């Protein structure tokens, strides 16, 4: 986390495409975020994080040497080491299976499509969200997962409004952001969130944040 309230967030970027790294860096810096390193592999990113002074990592999922899941492996490595650095994974494709694996790593993680790089506010807000310990899932991935919902799924217990609130939770919105987006009062949103957590049978736990567990339920895995 930043050393002071006014210090900019410090981010490391990893992607084997130099031009994309430069594009991401430009977007983040325009949003007041400091890019402390830009590297081409997940392993290099992990080394930078080990060096300290990093609040978040923004990295591609598919990188050398296999171009499969190197970004997720880097995330899992950091979480296994108990690193609380925010991690935002980027992908060319909306792959629910990747999203489930990413969110399964715990809080402070996110999964966005690379096209969001062209939406500066979305990318910057996603970085801020994972740094604060929140979770972010791309809306296109959320839509795919909602369409997979079965009749016997716990999500079937939710009302249409509660489902809308949960989808925004998955995208990293705070209660205040949800209220503004859905034109609801903050207390109304808080009531919906409590109802969602109760209907999904999510109890307080020292190891998992209930909002993250709710998002995992939406992703189809608890």
- Domain span at residue 182? 149-218
99 and 208 both lie in a single domain: no
Specify the pLDDT at position 188. 95
Give the integer Cα–Cα distance in Å for 31 and 8.
10
Percent of the chain with pLDDT over 90: 61
Place of tokens 């007041």: 32
What backbone torsions phi and psi does residue 94 show, to the nearest 5 degrees?
-85, 95
Q: Which residue has the higher pLDDT, 129 or 213?
A: 129
- Count other C-beta atoms under 10 Å from residue 51's C-beta: 11
30 and 99 both lie in a single domain: yes
| Per-residue confidence band for 216, with pLDDT thresholds at 50, 70 and 90 | confident
Per-residue model confidence as pLDDT tens digits over 181-193? 999 999 999 999 9
Specify the pLDDT at position 150. 53
Is residue 93 over pLDDT 90? no
Chain centre to alpha carbon of residue 27: 17
64 and 92 both lie in a single domain: yes
Place of tokens 């594009």: 23
Specify the pLDDT at position 205. 60
> CB under 8 Å to 144, separation ≥6 — which residues?
94, 96
Is residue 98 over pLDDT 70? yes
36 and 110 both lie in a single domain: yes
> CB under 8 Å to 183, separation ≥6 — which residues?
none
Q: Is residue 188 a part of any domain in this protein?
A: yes
- Considering only 75-79, 94-98, 110-114, 175-179, which range has the smallest mean pLDDT? 94-98
Specify the pLDDT at position 2. 47
Specify the pLDDT at position 1. 46
57-142-214 Cα angle (round to 5): 80
Give the integer Cα–Cα distance in Å for 177 and 48.
32
Q: b/e per residue, 112-139, with b = 16+ CB within 10 A?
A: bbbebbeeeebbbbbbbbbbbbbbbbbb
State the total domains in the chain. Answer: 2
Q: Is residue 4 a part of any domain in this protein?
A: no
- Count other C-beta atoms under 10 Å from residue 79's C-beta: 18
101 and 177 both lie in a single domain: no
What does pTM read for this prediction? 0.70
Specify the pLDDT at position 139. 87
Per-residue model confidence as pLDDT tens digits over 130-179? 999 998 998 888 777 666 655 457 788 889 999 999 999 888 889 999 99
Domain of 119: which CATH number? 3.40.50.2300
Specify the pLDDT at position 4. 47
Give the integer Cα–Cα distance in Å for 148 and 220.
9
19 and 63 both lie in a single domain: yes
Per-residue model confidence as pLDDT tens digits over 5-64? 578 999 999 999 999 999 999 999 999 999 999 999 999 999 999 999 999 999 999 999
Percent of the chain with pLDDT over 70: 90
């Amino acid at each position: 986390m930043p050393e002071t309230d006014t210090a900019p967030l410090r981010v490391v970027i990893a992607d084997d495409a130099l031009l994309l790294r430069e594009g991401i860096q430009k977007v983040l810096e325009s949003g007041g975020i400091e890019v402390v390193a830009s590297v081409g592999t997940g392993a290099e990113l992990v080394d930078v994080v080990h060096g300290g002074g990093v609040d978040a990592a923004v990295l591609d999922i598919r990188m050398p040497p296999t171009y499969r899941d190197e970004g997720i492996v880097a995330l899992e490595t950091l979480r296994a080491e108990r690193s609380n650095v925010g991690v935002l994974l980027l992908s060319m494709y909306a792959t629910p299976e990747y999203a489930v694996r990413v969110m399964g790593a715990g809080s402070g993680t996110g999964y966005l499509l690379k096209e969001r790089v062209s939406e500066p506010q979305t990318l910057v807000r996603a970085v801020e969200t994972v740094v604060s310990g929140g979770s972010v899932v791309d809306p296109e991935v959320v839509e795919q997962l909602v369409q997979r919902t079965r009749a016997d799924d716990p999500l079937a217990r939710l009302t249409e409004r509660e489902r809308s609130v949960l989808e925004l939770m998955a995208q990293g919105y705070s209660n205040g952001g949800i209220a503004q987006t859905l034109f609801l009062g903050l207390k109304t949103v808080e009531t919906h969130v409590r109802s969602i957590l109760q209907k999904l049978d999510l109890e307080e736990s020292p190891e998992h944040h209930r909002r993250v567990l709710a998002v995992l339920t939406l992703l189809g895995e608890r």
